[in-house]
């Protein structure tokens, strides 16, 4: 069981920026709520343009010298994984005990029905989580496409002399960082979606979500020189 953060641990982040697990700035911490045991129950965040949101305390974690907000889709998927693993293990143990005569039939049937009802509830929850993951994946694909389009446009305008070197490099660095972060999140979304699509034990369970870490900023790759006229280029296009 993960222990909730307490006020002593988190109060130093008041007034500082909050990030997501991929290094993107989410907003600024403007308030912290805690219960009588000093456990953090909520964090108030200014997300920009004067807007404020309240996030549950269990979505916040400390990574190094940063306060990180775990995406809601990640929390929902991890909670589902834990619940599903527990109920399937218990059903397996129940069947094994009944098969060797350690449990009476009427008790076995009652316990099995309780766990089957729990599985049916999880199936409904699973469908909603898969829908949320699908929507998030679609949003990330759109973001990646937009960033790639901007990168290509900047390269064209730089090559034509309309963008100076300094401005072009600054823009390219920002886009490269954005591409790396969006691609990292999409990889996580696709991995969890793949697992939740087969909750029958046929696919391996992903590792529990660890403390988030920042995605390192990639070094921009220099634009390759144009090939010689007689050089043949093979393009492999993968549909997304």
Q: 193, 134 in Cβ contact below 8 A?
A: yes
- 150: which 2 tokens? 């901007």
Q: 29, 13 in Cβ contact below 8 A?
A: yes
What is the structure's pLDDT at 51? 92
Distance of CA 179 to the CA centre of its chain: 15
State which fold the 10-69 domain adopts.
SH3 type barrels. (2.30.30)
Distance of CA 194 to the CA centre of its chain: 14
pLDDT in tens, 155-180: 999 999 999 999 999 999 999 999 99
- Torsion region of 214: left, alpha or beta (phi above 0 gives left; psi -120 to 50 gives alpha): beta
pTM beyond cutoff 0.75: no
What is the structure's pLDDT at 190? 96
Q: DSSP 3-state assignment of 165?
A: helix
What is the structure's pLDDT at 138? 97
- 190: which 2 tokens? 């696709």
Q: DSSP 3-state assignment of 159?
A: helix
What is the structure's pLDDT at 198? 79
What is the structure's pLDDT at 224? 42
Residue whose tokens read 């709520």 = 33
Rounded to an integer, what distance in angstroms lies between the CA atom of residue 111 and that of residue 114?
5
The low-confidence residues of the chain, meaning pLDDT below 50, are: 1, 201-240
């Amino acid at each position: 069981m993960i222990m909730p953060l307490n006020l002593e641990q988190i109060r130093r982040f008041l007034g500082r920026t909050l990030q997501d697990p991929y290094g993107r700035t989410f907003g600024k911490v403007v308030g912290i709520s805690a219960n009588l045991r000093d456990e953090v129950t909520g964090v108030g965040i200014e997300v920009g343009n004067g807007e404020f949101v309240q996030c549950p305390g269990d979505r916040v974690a400390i990574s190094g010298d940063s306060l990180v907000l775990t995406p809601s889709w990640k929390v929902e998927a991890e909670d589902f994984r834990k619940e599903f693993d527990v109920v399937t293990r218990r059903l397996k143990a129940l069947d094994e005990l009944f098969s060797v005569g350690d449990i009476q039939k009427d008790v076995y049937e009652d316990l099995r029905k309780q766990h089957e009802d729990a599985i049916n509830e999880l199936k409904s929850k699973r469908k909603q989580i898969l829908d949320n993951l699908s929507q998030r994946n679609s949003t990330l694909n759109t973001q990646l496409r937009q960033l790639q389009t901007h990168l290509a446009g900047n390269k064209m305008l730089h090559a034509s002399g309309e963008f100076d070197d300094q401005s072009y490099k600054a823009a390219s660095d920002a886009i490269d960082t954005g591409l790396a972060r969006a691609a990292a999140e999409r990889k996580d979304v696709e991995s969890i979606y793949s697992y939740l699509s087969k909750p029958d034990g046929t696919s391996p369970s992903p590792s529990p979500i660890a403390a988030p870490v920042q995605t390192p900023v990639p070094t921009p790759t220099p634009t390759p020189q144009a090939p010689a006229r007689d050089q043949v280029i093979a393009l492999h296009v993968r549909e997304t």
